[in-house]
Structure formats: C-alpha cells, structure tokens
Structure 1
Amino acid sequence: MQYLTGFGPHVVILARMRRLTLAVLLVLTGCSSSTDDGATGFTAIDLTATPEALAAHGDMLVIGTRPSDHPELVTRSKDGALGNARLTPATPYGKEAHWYGITSDGVTITGVGGERGGAHGNVRWSAWTGDTRQIVEKPQAFSTFGGYGAGELIGPARTPQGPLIIGTWQSDKAGLDIAMWTYAADTWSRQPSAGTVLESSQDLLRFPLAVTQNGDGVLVAGWQTGKGQVSAAVWQFDGRTWTTAALPDGDAALAARCWDGTCHVVGRSKGKLAWWTGTGADWKKLTTPDIPVGDDQVLAAPVPVNGTPTLFIDHDGVKLVSEKDERPANGPTGAVTAAERAGDQVFLIAGAHLWRLGG
C-alpha cells in the first residue's frame, strides 16, 4: 500500500472513508424524490385535456380525460410516451360523457361515463369496453342504468370473473339498495340485492361511495344509517356471496384500495380524517395526523409508496399522509381526486392536473 507523503495510514483510510460516504450520499440524493426541506417532489405531465380518472393497465397508465365537450382516453407507457385510444361512442350522451371510473385487468379496459340531461337533469350513463387501441361504448337498454328506479353508478371494478359496476337502485323496502351489475355478451345485467346485505330497510339505509377489487371479488366502501346512528361501512363480495362490516369510530368511508391481502379504507370521523385497515370482519382504525375532512370532500384511494400505504390529500397544500407522518408534496396544488400506481410509478390528479411522483 502506498501512502500520501507526510500522512500516516490511518489518515489515508479516514480520507477514503469520507470520500466513500460523500459518494454514497450523492447517489442517494440523486435517486431520491425528496427535496432538502423534506418535501416530496412531483413532475407535471402535460395533457391536452382535463384528467378525470386513472387506471393501471399493466405497467401502463390509462387516463380518462375530457376536453370541453367529449371524452378521451390517453395512455402513458412506462417510458413516458403518450398515446390515444380511439373512442367510438354509440349514443348522444356517450359523445359528451365525463369519466366516472375506469378499470383494467391488463388486457381489457372497462369504463363508466355519464352526462346530465333530459327533463330532470339525471345522469345518462354510458358503458365502455376496449383496449389501448380502441374503446367502444356498448349501448344498453334504457332500463339497464336508468328509468323509474334508477340511482347512481359509483364505478367499475375488475374481478377474475370479469368486470362489475357498483351503484344504487330503488329498494323494495326503503330508499336505495346497493346494486351490482355484471357483464356478458356486451350486456350489463343488474343482480338482485333483495335478501343480501346490499338491501336497505326501514331500520338501515345503505350508501356506497367507492369500489375496488379485492382478491376474487370487490370491496365497496360507504356509510349507513339506522336508529339515529351513522357509521362507516364496507361490503365485500368474494365472487359468490356478500358480507358487510361496520368500521370502528367512523362516519363515512370515502375511498379504498386493497393489495397484498389487506384493504386500506379512508374516510371521515367527526370531521377528521379516518383510516382503517383490514379485511373480512376484522378492521382496525389507525392513528393518523389531525386533518379535517368535510362532508362533501372527495378522497383518493391510498397507494403504496416505497412499501408504505400513502394517502395524497390537500391539507394546506398537497401532503403525503401515512400512519407515521405527514409530508409536503413539492409541485401539486388543489384537491386530489385520484391516485394510481402503474408498475413502479405513482400518479395523482390534483387541481385538475396530472402529476407523477419523482423526477
């Protein structure tokens, strides 16, 4: 070993250790998406129209956008290349639809659109099926999603058996039932809610607000009221039967996402953010930062960020919230209406713009 003239070997070793430490820090800094003040950086993605809905299509991101008067479907590949799927509407309201939800199994894309119209200003629904090359509106009978007993459509979700749509429909007993539509041969069919936990009654009214895939079925999040009590609730479908569970100390569940065998549900409790984790009948409320959530506020479903379940929310600026902490986001502003993970990248819609986590 050669030593620098005038220096002992321990000095040379210390110098080399310092250089190595500095190099490691520079590499980590270069790979990090965090700024020096602890904020987490985002990159804006330029689109030609307002983004309304997001879905992962394998490693690709599918973006439902809407210019001033019609829907579009934009794709973003892992390398950042943008493309457009050709939309083929089949009805006048399909030509004008806003996106209420999009889902994909990596091969087939399913979308729900809607635009208000008619004498009563009700939403006129459109259902879309296709892939990244073309997505087509599949016209349905008026009574499929509309008519005297119609409620609202919450959105679509994928299962191994095919896509589902969750919404509401007039109950035989009281108010509206939670309703499920299944798809076969280009036709959506509403399944009976009577006799299941989806049915409302004089004692308990049910209100779905979000749906997400959960294993072989789906999880629906929302709220219910009965005998003067209001509680957050979930309804779970395993591909055959429905079950339900009330969430502890909650007023409403607003958004949900399931991965790795656990569901993460966010909502409101006494005007504050509430977060539950669990599945089946076993649910736990987490301790989270003190963040107000209004009665009409929309929350985006949590996503995993570096292995940590993370919620994006506008709280004096957009923040990344986990059970452990709350960090500012560098870039996005405004209400966060959607978040999605496609491959190893995380995206969100905030302030009517699309953002990607990281540089």
Structure 2
Amino acid sequence: MRRFAAVAMLLLATLTACSDKSGDKSGDEPKAIAWTKVDVGPAEPVTLTAHDSQLLVGLRHRGAKVVPELEFLDNGKRTPIAVKPNPASPYAFEAIWYSIAYDGKQLLALGGAAGGAHSNTRWTVWTGTPQTGLVERPQNFFTFGGQTAGDLYSAVLTPSGSALLGSWGGVQTGNDAMVWLPQSNGMWTRQDPSKTALQSTPSLLVGPGFGTTLGESIVLVGSQVRLAPGVVAQEAAVWRSAKLDTGWKRIVLPEPGSRSQADTATCTTDCVISGYADGQLAIWQLDASGTAKRLHGVPAIPVGDEDKLPAPVVDGGKIVQVVAQDNKVKVLSGQDGQWTVQDSTGPSGAPTAAALLPDHKLYLIAGTSLWQTTLS
C-alpha cells in the first residue's frame, strides 16, 4: 500500500507540473524591444527624415528664441546643416520644424511659431541643400495668413517639383485641401482646388491632415465627412494626384467602420496608411494602381482624435507601427492577419516620429528624446 501511495503521489505531482507548465503563457510572450537613447545635444528632436542611409533630425530649443537646428546623424556622428533665417523675419528665429523633405539633393522645410494677437501659427518656408544650408524664404502675410487661412502640415519633394500642403477656406464651404507651389521669385502661391477632388461641397467635406509622395504623385491622407439629411459620416480617405498638383482623385479607404481617420502614411512601391476606425488602431494598404484594402487582425489598441501616430515603416515584407498604449511605447509588427505586439524598454512619453534605415535601425522620437533600436 505504501508503494502504491508513493507511485500515486508521484503521478499526481507529474500531472500537476505538466498542467502548470501548459497554463503558463509567459514563454509565448514576445520579448520586449530594447531602445538606446541617442545623443542629440541639449536640443529636443521634433522631426525625422530618412533618405537611403541618411537620417535628418530636426531640433528645437524649447522656451528659447534660438534658431532651429538640423543635422545629419550617422552612427552617432552628428553633422550640423547651416540654418539661415532672414534677419527681417522674427518668427524664423522661433520656428519649430513641422516637416522637412529631402530627396538626397534638395531640402524643403516648413517651420511654424505661434504669434500675433491670436497666437496663430506664423509659417516659414526654407529651401536649400546640405552643402549650402537651409535658407528662409520670406513670404508676405497673405501667403499663409488672413481671414480664410487654414493649416499647413507637410512639405514634399517629387521628381516634378516641390509643394507645401495644408488647408484653406473653401471655395463653397468648409475648408478645401490646399497645395502651394513655388514661383521663380521665391514666393509660394496657393493653387485653385475648384472642381477637383480637393474641394469641399455642401454634401462632402474634405479633411486631409498629412502628406507624402509616391513617385510623381502627392498622397494626402485624412478623412472625408459626408453630409446628408440626418446623416453625418466620417470616413478615412486618401487623395492622390497623377503628377504634382494635377489629376487629383479621392479614394475612400475600405471598411471604415462608423467613424474613421487616416493619420499618417509611408509610401515606397505602395503606401501603408495608419489611423483609426471606431477608436481602434487601423492600418490600410494602397497599391500603385489605387486599390486599397484594410489589413485584418490588427490588435485592438485604442487610438483617438488627439493621438499622434508615427508614420509606419516597412522592413522587408513586415509592417512596423509604433504606438502608445497605457502610457507605454509598444511596437506592432507583422502582415495582414498576423501581428505581434512587443513592449519597449527605454522610451517614455508619446511617440511622435519614426524612421527606418536600410541597416534595419529604427529611430524613434518619444517624449523629448531620440531613441534607436535594430529590428530583427
């Protein structure tokens, strides 16, 4: 009997151990991503721009009237690019970088500083090259200001030319999406959105809020609001030109839910677009032909109107999206239907910008710091 009892106890212990092991999911949890803080001196990083193996970091000095800075970052080596404001342009000395475009040769930057009686953003435009530096090109007040002024959000460079992107008081109603193009005298001029997909109408309000490029095309992402008796529907949408500011088409992103918004995008051979639908993270793909699809299986991560998503990046065939959840930085990666969410060690604060280099190094602005990790 004692021998039988001992065998029974051993069998029970073995079964219990196996049961405990099968119920322990800790071994299935993906490993946290370790980030390393990158030294950018006393300034605060605000923008990231990647081109091939080059990374441009836009910097600001918070609370100080110091000229904004711009530098190349290469394996920890910082190479400053000269920034030359016009002495007669006071807001240039206080500008914060909103968007910096770089195509390997030319630089185009959009800066903004709050000013005036109503603390509206006073916009500044900068052009140049890494060798000559960024030079401010002063504009008259009504280039970006006035009673019907809207917002600006992106500077872009295409093989056909450069553009600034934003919004302006509508030809008919609301705000229209707006494109500014440069003139030979250094001034920028608003283009006419009338009778194009950029124009708002009494039954359809356009609302892009971010711009990038896909080959010769400009790509805007945001949302449209359909207005009908008893119906107000906000749907994630894309506006794409055929070439620079010509041939605009609007594409409503599929499976928009009851309320959705496209916040940001990265375009290479196609576009990966991030935003939200029904308060949760949503990711879409738009191919070169203009066909869009919503990617399935994206984990339920809350994203709202006030949240800023860094642009997604594509590493091989894998999409990588950095998000904030429960005041923590998390990294979502995968493909349609198959996703992994990893915690982060290092960064604190909301992530606002991300850029990937060909060596698989991913850079991230979170809070007031720049971070780097290498994707596996």
Same fold per superposition (TM over 0.5): yes
- The alignment status of 1:248 with 2:248, answered yes or no, reads no
Partner of 2:70: 74
The answer as to 2:39 corresponding to 1:46 is yes
> Which shifted more, 343-352 or 68-77?
68-77
Q: Counterpart in 2 of 1:123? A: 121
Distance in 2 between residues matched to 1:71 and 1:58, nearest whole Å: 27
The 5 Å alignment of 1:118-157 reads 118-133=116-131, 134-157=133-156
Q: Distance in 2 between matches of 1:346 and 1:153?
A: 27
Change (3 A) 1:332 1:305: farther
CA distance in 2, matches of 1:71, 1:214: 32
Which residue is equivalent to 1:190?
190
User: Which AA in structure 1 matches 2:106?
Assistant: T
Q: Does 1:335 align with 2:354?
A: no
Output the amino acid matched with 1:232. Answer: A
Q: Indicate if the aligned counterparts of 2:38 and 2:76 stay in contact, CA closer than 8 A.
A: no
Query: What are the ranges of 5 or more consecutive residues in structure 1 without an aligned counterpart?
Result: 1-35
Matched, 1:292 2:292: no
1:147, CA displacement in angstroms?
1.5
3-state SS, counterpart of residue 34 of structure 2: strand
Deviation track 1:107-146 (CA, whole Å, cap 9, x = no partner) reads 1111100111112221110001122241111111211111
**2:208 aligned residue:** 208
Instruction: Output one character per residue of 1:282-320: Cα deviation in whole Å (capped at 9) or x when no partner.
Output: 111112011000221111110123541110111232111
Q: Write the distance in 2 (CA, Å) between the matches of 1:184 and 1:313.
A: 39
Q: Is the 8 A contact 2:68 2:95 kept in 1?
A: no
Name the CA distance, whole Å, in 2 between partners of 1:154 and 1:77.
24
Which whole-Å CA distance do the structure 2 matches of 1:281 and 1:262 have between them? 9
The answer on 1:158 being equivalent to 2:154 is: no
* Residue 352 of structure 1: aligned partner: 368
Distance across 2 between alignment mates of 1:242 and 1:123: 28
C-alpha distance in structure 2 between counterparts of 1:131 and 1:331, whole Å: 34
Aligned twin of 1:62:
56
Answer yes or no: is the 8 Å Cα contact 2:70–2:82 preserved in 1.
no
The AA in structure 2 aligned to 1:42 is: W
Match of 2:21 in 1: none
Letter in 2 for 1:337: T
Partner of 1:276: 284
Partner of residue 341, structure 2: 326
C-alpha root-mean-square deviation of aligned residues, in Å? 1.8
More displaced 10-residue stretch of structure 1: 207-216 or 75-84 = 75-84
Q: Secondary structure at the match of 1:94?
A: helix
Alpha-carbon contact 1:56-1:103 (below 8 Å) kept? no
Q: CA separation in 2, counterparts of 1:340 and 1:358?
A: 12
1-structure distance, mates of 2:91, 2:196:
33
3-state DSSP class of the match of 2:90? coil
Contact in 2 for aligned 1:97/1:114 (Cα 8 Å): yes
Residues in 1 aligned to 2:71 and 2:358: alpha-carbon distance in whole angstroms:
14
**Cα distance between partner residues in 1 of 2:173 and 2:302:** 32
Q: State, as a whole percentage, how many aligned pairs show the same letter.
A: 35
- Select between 54-63 and 234-243 the one with higher mean Cα deviation: 54-63
SS across alignment from 1:95: helix
Asked if 1 retains the 8 angstrom alpha-carbon contact of 2:108 and 2:125, the reply is: yes
Q: Secondary structure at the match of 1:325?
A: strand
Maintained 8 Å contact 1:212/1:257: yes
| CA contact 2:67–2:85 (8 Å) conserved in 1 | no
Between 339-348 and 169-178, report the one with greater CA deviation. Answer: 339-348
Match of 1:311 among 313, 321, 326: 321
1:21 aligned partner: none
Q: Is the 8 A contact 1:71 1:99 kept in 2?
A: no
Unaligned runs of 5+ in 2: 1-28
Matched-pair contact (CA < 8 Å) for 1:301–1:338: yes
